[in-house]
Structure 1
Amino acid sequence: MANTKYILEQIKIEGELKQLLAKTNGENTTVTYNGTEMTLTAALAAIYASLTNLPTGEGVDSKISSAIDALIGGAPETYDTLKEIADYIAVHKDASDALSAAIGNKVDKVEGKGLSAEDFTTALKTKLENMAGVTEEEKAAWNAKADKSVATAEADGLMSKEDKAKLDGLNGVRYGAEAPADMKNGELFVRVVSAEA
């Protein structure tokens, strides 16, 4: 049997240094690639596959073009470069300055506050804070003013007795398969029957 020889080599693929440990006994050559022992032919095939999956120059150009198109976002050709935009701003400096001034004069949002001092003055805020709250006694007195009894034809309640009488006097229309037992005087009942085909 021939002597086994070991050869350690390295290869860099996609920025990562990978090690190849090869051994041969004169009949077969095996290598350890990515932690797996395999034949040299299989390892070379894996390395070749990794290399062929790298982007081509054409593929890189295509990705760059797509990124630029996304950045431009359909801007008209007149303003699709930073230079053209800078030139436009330089020519329209007055409008740019006015916009900058308007942004500079905006009221800053203060966390926890919905209105700024310009919209709600300190005097109004103080007046609001000094307003007395409604006490439980005041609530009870207010609630006692309303009559909670149910109105009848003889006595006022949640509505006047006159309104109750009007409501009771309204004639309604009911419908169904059988006449209700509690029909009022003047109420109309319509019997609904199914028609045979």
Structure 2
Amino acid sequence: MKRRANSSSSSTFSKDMEFEEYMAARQPSLLRTAYLLTGDRHAAEDLVQTALAKLYLSWEKVQRRDLVDGYVRRIMVNENNSLWRRPWKRNEVPTGEVPERRAVAPEQDHGESSALWDFVQTLPKRQRAVIVLRYYEDLTEAETAEVLGISVGTVKSQASRAVASMRLRVHTQPILNRDTEEER
């Protein structure tokens, strides 16, 4: 009996060590993805924590370790989407406080990434998820489709609609700025 207990605890220890190594290596990237999905640092931390907890519970069932990132992204997208289905979330009122932004060297940004991110935040959740996974996470169309559980054609159409919507906003934004400057 003692051998079984030792081998079981050894197996659990090995599982825990393997999971901790994965988590330490991938947590920053997962946090970035979660932030891009949620637009809020605290919500992103909660989303990653939930996803990693669910991953830990099924760690022994994960057959191919090379597919873990896709599995975790899928958990995050599903959790983020289901969060918006919860009744208490619909009753939240925005406070008007601006969330913290990640620091970008001024010579690299010129305000473009901030403005672009503002456009991405206004997209419907499915289009935003496609844009985040395709262009921020640099996944292929097939990988994005697998993570979201949709067809490659849907990824293409959602990306196309999102890009068209953002292009339209980019082209109309300078016009609005010029109009407001002329009124001054």
Same fold (TM over 0.5): no
Larger helix fraction of residues: 2
Greater Rg by CA = 1
More strand by share: 1
TM normalised by structure 2 equals 0.23
Normalised by the size of structure 1, how large is the TM-score? 0.22
RCO comparison, higher one (Cα < 8 Å, 6+): 2
